[in-house]
Chains A and B, each alone.
Chain A
Amino acid sequence: DAGVIQSPRHEVTEMGQEVTLRCKPISGHDYLFWYRQTMMRGLELLIYFNNNVPIDDSGMPEDRFSAKMPNASFSTLKIQPSEPRDSAVYFCASSQGSGHEQFFGPGTRLTVL
């Protein structure tokens, strides 16, 4: 398996633009997590899915952020409109079952100018 795949790896956009980050989890994993990592706040869980259903989105910073998982092999995290404070590295991770190790993707480095 190729591991968790994220695209794009780098994204530079201007304030106010819509940004869509993509994730393909490891096949057979039933949990998918979106994290954000910044120097100031460290690694924060934004939202996670179980069997394609959003379970906990309490970490989503505000309504500008939304996430979907239309099927078991694809998830998106959308920011609309983007702001400079959204600049961070966004990670997607997946796991098989609960209480197990999480496998992280390489991340998307987002810069909002």
Chain B
Amino acid sequence: SQQGEEDPQALSIQEGENATMNCSYKTSINNLQWYRQNSGRGLVHLILIRSNEREKHSGRLRVTLDTSKKSSSLLITASRAADTASYFCATDLNDYKLSFGAGTTVTVRA
């Protein structure tokens, strides 16, 4: 069964707008990772946030983690057409196994 659940399932935004997606999980984690998957491709790692961190930035990406609520959010600022993809959160339960959510499909309209 999947540990993480992303919300919303799908998101459509205009180029230049921000996109926010959330991930909730059930059990304690060591770290949480976000991945992107373009259509027909493999997953690409975006960012990793450890359980003792609350916020992390990487370029136009901002990730937050609230372990008390067992939730994380991914914010993509100033979206571009190239950001059109599916985004997955993955929880690392024991430092070697990842459990992936069902993903959020993001469409950025030109």
On whether the two chains bind one another, the answer is yes
A residues bordering B, Cβ < 8 Å?
Answer: 4, 31, 33, 42-43, 45, 48, 50, 55-56, 91, 93, 98-107
B residues bordering A, Cβ < 8 Å?
Answer: 2, 30-31, 33, 35, 41-45, 48, 88, 92, 95-103
Known A42-B2, A101-B33; judge A91-B101 contact (CB<8 A). Answer: no
Contacts of B98 in A (CB 8 A): 33, 45, 102
**Least CB separation from B103: chain A residue:** A42
Q: Out of A42, A55, A98, which one reaches B100, CB within 8 Å?
A: A42
Closest CB in chain A relative to B107 CB, distance in Å: 17
A91 contacts B102, C-beta separation under 8 Å: no
Known A91-B43, A106-B42; judge A98-B95 contact (CB<8 A). Answer: yes
**Least CB separation from A91: chain B residue:** B42
A50 contacts B96, C-beta separation under 8 Å: yes
Q: Out of A48, A98, A105, which one reaches B42, CB within 8 Å?
A: A105
Contacts of A100 in B (CB 8 A): 48
CA distance A33 to B41 in the complex (A): 17
**Least CB separation from A31: chain B residue:** B96
A103 contacts B96, C-beta separation under 8 Å: no
A99 contacts B42, C-beta separation under 8 Å: no
Closest CB in chain A relative to B100 CB, distance in Å: 4
Contacts of A93 in B (CB 8 A): 42-43
B92 contacts A43, C-beta separation under 8 Å: no
Closest CB in chain B relative to A39 CB, distance in Å: 10
